[in-house]
Chains A and B, each alone.
Chain A
Amino acid sequence: MSTDLKSSNQESNTAKAQGLAQCHVCNLLIDIDESIDNYCPRCDSKIHMRIYDSLQRCWALTICSLIAFIPANAYPIMTILYFGKGQPDTILSGIVLLLKFGMYPIAAIVFIASFVVPLAKIIGLFVLLLSLRNKSKLTKQQRTKMYRYIELFGRWSMLDVFVVALLVALVEIGAVVEVVAGPGATAFGIMVILTIFAANSFDPRLLWDEEDNEMALTKEKKNKR
């Protein structure tokens, strides 16, 4: 019996199976005693086997960012005033305006950065979270890759907020043209922050734990037969 356990441990050669955990700050591998709080002896950061409450936090933050996505797109992000008159622009109407003037490449960049990326990030996080509950068609490798891209491209959704800041500073020629930032920018900033926190709270190792557990189980079944 003891030899069986050993072999299944070797099969799933993870730090968790060995009672070890790696410090997320300085990558030191230490023995974990799960009954107490563990601190890294090298950098004094708190160490968990897995990110504490990862799934609950990630669910909460992803739902919040989905909610924040609505005002971010519904409220105007800025208004360009010509001689005191002008129509407030939301992110999408700004893109439509760019298309009208024939600036297709820049419209594509803005559309991808400020609409596709946040939406894809939120949907992607939902897909990852749901895949831990139900059986998923995606393999572990694909889902890990997906998580990596979500982390990598999330920051690009700040693009439109930066553009607004620059335009507000640049175009203040009083009576003729003026650019005024709108409440949509705040909502957008909140949404970006929430999606970054959501992605950070997700622990990709949970995707692989499932496989390790399954492998151990099937091994046990085979051994019983």
Chain B
Amino acid sequence: MNQKQFACYECDTLITITSINEGEVASCPRCHHHIVDKKYDSINRTLAISGTGLLLFIPATFFPLMSMQLLSVESSASLMSGISALWQTELYLVATLIFLFCVLAPLVKLSAAFFVTLGYKHKRHQHPFYKQLMLFYHHVDSWEMLEVFLIGILVSIIKLKDMADLSFNLGLLCFSAFMLCVLSLKVTLDKQMIWDDLDYEH
């Protein structure tokens, strides 16, 4: 660990961290905010999880999540068809927001994590490209809302279950797995370690 001294993000207390093992968390003595969270086997785990997430991206966004049968007419909805339906009803802003929160932000997060960890494994992470990826990751981090969308799916299922026959499709499974992959990036990706290993001029 190169950097020894940290300032708490929430209360600005200066803390010196001399040694921290994998799987340990250093929290602020004054406000208990987590300052350094050293993750266990971060690079390998993140590589595996982000790779899986990227494979699941297409089925999770384009496969129908559920379908509905009413008077022998069947219709189905996927994440993308929801966005395009909103676009067609001229709610451009809402459609764009959902696209950003549930498609673009997770995709950027997964691909940034994937390429950074891949570069790290091949010891090429000093290239400015990887720094840019880490910046992208940082900027979209708080905008990704897949788990909210999953609860949204559940709510709409319950809202419709009395009105029509509902059935679930493969897309729902893919979407749930995709969401789990994106969520677990928070647990596995050790941003601090990657930043610490970057060279810079003092």
> Contact residues of A with B, CB < 8 Å?
13-16, 18, 20-22, 24-29, 41-45, 98, 101, 103, 106, 109-110, 113, 140-141, 144, 147-148, 155-156, 158-174, 176-177, 180-181, 183, 185-186, 189-190, 193, 196, 200, 204-205, 207-209
Contacts and interface: CB of A to CB of B under 8 A. Distances in A.
Interface string B1-15: 001011101111110
Contacts, number: 191
Given A165-B98, A205-B11, A27 B149 contact: no
A170 B160 contact: yes
A24 B78 contact: no
B145 A158 contact: yes
Contact of B7 (A14, A155, A171, A190): A14
Contacts of B83: 165
Nearest to B7: A15
A29 B155 CA distance: 45
B71 A165 contact: no
B163 A177 contact: yes
A165 B3 contact: no
Contact of B14 (A13, A163, A164, A205): A13
Given A14-B14, A166-B153, A170-B156, A196 B94 contact: no
B10 A204 contact: yes
Nearest to B101: A158
7 contacts: A22-B6, A43-B135, A113-B151, A141-B32, A159-B155, A162-B98, A162-B145
Given A26-B134, A196-B143, A207-B11, 12 more contacts: A24-B9, A27-B6, A28-B3, A144-B31, A159-B152, A161-B98, A165-B98, A167-B160, A183-B91, A186-B94, A200-B142, A205-B11
Nearest 9 interchain pairs by C-beta: A162-B152, A15-B7, A169-B77, A165-B82, A170-B77, A169-B82, A26-B195, A208-B11, A22-B7
A168 B89 contact: yes
B113 to A, nearest CB: 16
A46 B155 CA distance: 42
Nearest to B166: A170
Interface size range on B against A:
35 or more
Interface stretch (B38-46, B62-70, B117-125, B178-186): B62-70
A186 B134 CA distance: 32
Given A173-B70, A177-B70, A208 B142 contact: no
Interface centre among A26, A140, A170, A204 (most CB of B within 10 A): A170
A169 B178 CA distance: 21
A155 B140 CA distance: 13
Given A28-B3, A208-B12, A167 B151 contact: no
